[in-house]
Structure 1
Amino acid sequence: MSVYKSIMQGLDEAVKYQEGTIHARKTRISVKPVESFTSEDIKQIRNRLGLSQVIFASSLGVSKKTVEAWERGKNTPEGPSRRLLQLIRDNPDMIEQYMIKG
């Protein structure tokens, strides 16, 4: 289907939906909640991967000082860092994709 035809089809469907002649498709999505991590949890994840704080921090896109603060319990990961920790904990092999081996 050409881009033009695809756009026209979408517009036609939008008009029909607005007129009430068709119903919108609904998709239910369930997202696993973002977990919190203790300092011990973070140490365990890093140690299970066999990484130094420097390499672990670099893999997550944070500074070594950030990882140090997490592991000491001084700070806790927030937002995307928590999701990354969850993903890495559940799929430890994925971190290798982002590591440069020399």
Structure 2
Amino acid sequence: MSVYDGIMKGLNEALEHAEGNRELRTNMLYIEPVREYKAEEIKKIRNDLGMTQAFFARFMGVSPKTIEAWEAGRNMPDGPARRILSMIQADPMLPERYNIIAR
């Protein structure tokens, strides 16, 4: 299908919907908002995993200084790091399950 044909198809579908002759398909997905973490929560997650700051930094893909700053409250993790923290908090076995670390 050419770009023109694709655009025309979409416009015709929109027109049919506007006229009440077509129902649109929608995906009703819910995405849990990325939460923020306090310094002590980050330290607890790390300690619960039994990791040093240096090891946790390697796991998270950041420098040890970054972990130190997070745990001191000087900096906060960005969105992707916060998502990983929430996933680990929900499933502490995640790093091992996905062969990210081996004990």
The residue aligned with 2:77 is 77
Cα distance between partner residues in 2 of 1:43 and 1:82 = 13
Indicate the RMSD between aligned Cα atoms, in angstroms.
2.4
- Cα distance, 1:91 vs. partner? 1.2
Q: How far off its partner does 1:15 sit?
A: 6.9
Partner of 1:17: 13
- Decide whether the 8 Å contact of 1:16 with 1:22 is kept in 2: no
Matching of residue 48 in structure 1 with residue 44 in structure 2: no
For structure 1, which segment, 89-98 or 13-22, has the greater mean C-alpha deviation from structure 2 after superposition?
Answer: 13-22
C-alpha separation between the residues in 2 aligned to 1:34 and 1:79?
Answer: 7
Give the Å deviation of 1:18.
4.4
- Quote the offset at 1:61 in angstroms: 0.9
2: CA distance between counterparts of 1:19 and 1:35?
A: 40
Aligned-pair CA distance for 1:78: 1.6
TM-score by length of 2: 0.76
Identity of aligned residues (%): 38
Deviates more, 1:39-48 or 1:70-79: 70-79
Amino acid at match of 1:90: A
Higher helix share: 1
The equivalent of 1:27 in structure 2 is 27
**Structure 2 residue matching 1:92: 3-state secondary structure:** coil
CA distance in structure 1 between the aligned counterparts of 2:66 and 2:60, rounded to whole angstroms: 10
Post-superposition shift, 1:16? 5.5
The alignment covers a number of residue pairs equal to 94
Q: Which runs of 5+ in 1 are unaligned?
A: 5-9
